[in-house]
Structure 1
Amino acid sequence: MNERKQVDRLNLPFVGIPSYMRSPIVQDLSTLDADIAVLGVPSDEGSPWYPGARFAPRQMREMSVRYAGYGKMQGRAGYYDIETDRRFLEYEMGNERIADCGDVDIIYTNPEATYKNITDSVSQIIEADAIPLVMGGDHAVSYGVARAYQDPITIVHFDAHLDYRPFFHGAEYGNGSPMLKIGKLPNVTKMVQVGARGLRASIDDLNRARENGNHIVTMADYRRNGAESILSALPDSGRVYISIDIDILDLPLVPGCASAEADGLTYNELRQIIFSIVAKRELAGLDVVEINPMLDVPSNNTSLLGTQLMIETAGRAVLNKDYLRRKGRA
């Protein structure tokens, strides 16, 4: 019997089943053994405007495979950043330490059940000592993620809006209220909210957030004082959870976002702020939300930006000295 020689596949981006960056798929989270765990939460029942963010995890996985193969072509794992002349995620991708954990099961018309599923899934990822990287979904899903944490965390919230709206008509799971809910969690020690702007801002929401001790950095504040207005507000110790509404970016950059506003951050401004945050404090987790593929341009630019942001954040987060010491790799 002739033995067939296994062919080393090129696996171009348009070939095969698109797991996140071609990472191993782990759907039974009780068996998870990874350092980074990507999880989709395809729910947009909290959106009062255009629906469609539920399709973001699928589209972001599609976009992510564009970043998966180039290291292999170069004979090395990870990705090369030409700006810093450095390779990132080489250990994690070379040793299969990134896992695609699939999507949370969404129970339509039953948000309580959906959010229980979100919290249960993230809890299992945390128990496995992996960093959850969560793809929304609308911004309401961040509450289900944040309440899975038991240890103290600081929330850094990037958004054109404060998301501190009270529950009008009992709409507790709307995407205008997650930070109000998250701020009430007992383990959230501080909340830093970055990027508020636009004509839909509410003075009542602003006052409510400040009364609860939140540190607010509007776009005007950032333009005046730069990244230090954010970094100086971080506690001297403890881990940070970063929640990113893609509308933090300037409106032309994110055509696939129903809540986009003018005069936001550039992509490089956002990434450099995040790089500074995860260098200073260990990353507990990350979500990227409010990407709507149904509104996006044909080249899926918004999904691509969100995907790249997740990859680049992970690449810097695993270099944090506290993270490396805790993992025994310092």
Structure 2
Amino acid sequence: MSHLPFSGLISFARSPVVDLTVSFNADVGVLGIPFDIALGFRPGARFAPRAIREASLRYTLPEEGFYDLRSGTRKLAGLKLVDAGDVVLPSLEPELARDRITLAAKQLRSSVKLPVFLGGDHSVSYPILRAFEDVQDLHIVQLDAHLDFTDVRNDTRFSNSSPFRRACEDLPNLTHITTIGLRGLRFDEEAVQAARVRGHTLIGMWACEDLQEVIQQLPENKNVYLSFDVDVLDPTVLPATSSPEVDGMTYRTAMHLIRETVRRNHLMGLDVVELTPHLDHSGNSNLLIARLIMETLQEVFE
């Protein structure tokens, strides 16, 4: 007998909870990273892993999978999905926090086909990516309103504005970054030029009016890490984020880009970051992200 979404214990989609220190094997493993001390504006992303898990109870995966109306088939039937809990993080020791995140990400990667990371602010992508240092020719597809390639912000090198700058410095296997959805008034000119010099693909939100042109700029047949910053979505769609930017993506556009990224490449990992649950008292933002993760899994394990 299954619980209704508002009852029972909470894990992601009510999946079994596993211990990272014990050997196990699964198709997908979810790991929470409740860290947000690297933010430059409104805090609260540390509460996102718990909020996403609670919302995901709406999408508890039945053994027979979800029935898909469009295709008339079952999706994710028999998928072995587990929840690896949260990284245990210190309150105010960011270097120690980064080391623990990297270790936990490595442990998860060793046990699952696809690791899914629930941030947290976007700074967590850097220590996560250190766990992928063995992946040859690694490409990042970043859906984001902001570039996050700043060198230093307010005397800080490891903020949520800098994860991909630090990753490019430390990881020689990180070949290319494609960032889609860029917009706003506060761009760091030095960061933009540094990304372009390195050959990254920078796609503004205005270019998404021709979605096929954008899709043609996605990597193909590559090992891809997908980083989804929820502020890529328009704030009318998802208001619960620290630094919202108007004129963003619809959910449909975001999922279309995710679908094409997954179909064209080998997805090595996924993070979802910058959700700030208390900024949307309806809880709809949390539900949207839980659904986005489940729909992404449908594309990977089609």
TM range (shorter): over 0.9
Q: Give the aligned residue type for 1:68.
A: T
Distance in structure 2 (CA, Å) of the matches to 1:116 and 1:230:
35
TM-fit CA distance, 1:304: 1.2
State whether residues 29 and 121 of structure 1, in contact with CA within 8 Å, keep that contact through their aligned partners in structure 2: no
Counterpart of 1:44? 36
1:13 aligns with 2:20: no
TM-score normalised to the size of structure 2?
Answer: 0.94
Counterpart of 1:245? 229
Counterpart of 1:207? 193
Q: Give the aligned residue type for 1:156.
A: V
Counterpart of 2:19? 27
Counterpart of 1:159? 144
Equivalence map 1:113-192=2 (5 Å): 113-149=96-132, 150-152=134-136, 153-184=138-169, 185-192=171-178
Residues 1:140 and 1:134: Cα distance change in structure 2 (over 3 Å): same
* Structure 2 SS opposite 1:268: helix
* Structure 2 SS opposite 1:35: strand
TM-fit CA distance, 1:169: 4.7
Q: Give the aligned residue type for 2:276.
A: N
RMSD over equivalenced CA pairs, Å = 1.5
Residues 1:85 and 1:272: Cα distance change in structure 2 (over 3 Å): farther
Counterpart of 1:55? 47
- Which runs of no fewer than 5 residues in structure 2 stay unpaired? none
1:15-50 CA-partner distances (Å, limit 9, x unpaired): 111111111100234322111000000000111111
Q: Give the aligned residue type for 1:194.
A: I
Distance in structure 2 (CA, Å) of the matches to 1:252 and 1:41:
26
1:232 aligns with 2:217: yes
Counterpart of 1:3? none
TM-fit CA distance, 1:227: 4.0
Residues 1:162 and 1:31: Cα distance change in structure 2 (over 3 Å): same
* Structure 1 SS opposite 2:39: coil
TM-fit CA distance, 1:120: 0.6
TM-fit CA distance, 1:198: 1.1
Distance in structure 2 (CA, Å) of the matches to 1:245 and 1:89:
25
Residues 1:13 and 1:129: Cα distance change in structure 2 (over 3 Å): closer
State whether residues 20 and 108 of structure 2, in contact with CA within 8 Å, keep that contact through their aligned partners in structure 1: no
Q: Give the aligned residue type for 2:158.
A: Y
State whether residues 29 and 125 of structure 1, in contact with CA within 8 Å, keep that contact through their aligned partners in structure 2: no
**Aligned match of 2:202 in 216, 229, 253?**
216
Counterpart of 1:5? none
TM-score normalised to the size of structure 1?
Answer: 0.87
Counterpart of 2:244? 260
Distance in structure 1 (CA, Å) of the matches to 2:243 and 2:105:
26
* Structure 2 SS opposite 1:39: strand
Whose radius of gyration is greater, 1 or 2? Answer: 1
Distance in structure 2 (CA, Å) of the matches to 1:227 and 1:115:
37
1:92-122 CA-partner distances (Å, limit 9, x unpaired): 0xxxx11100001111111111111111111
Farther-moved stretch of structure 1 (129-138 vs 168-177):
168-177
TM-fit CA distance, 1:282: 1.3
Residues 1:84 and 1:181: Cα distance change in structure 2 (over 3 Å): farther
TM-fit CA distance, 1:247: 0.5
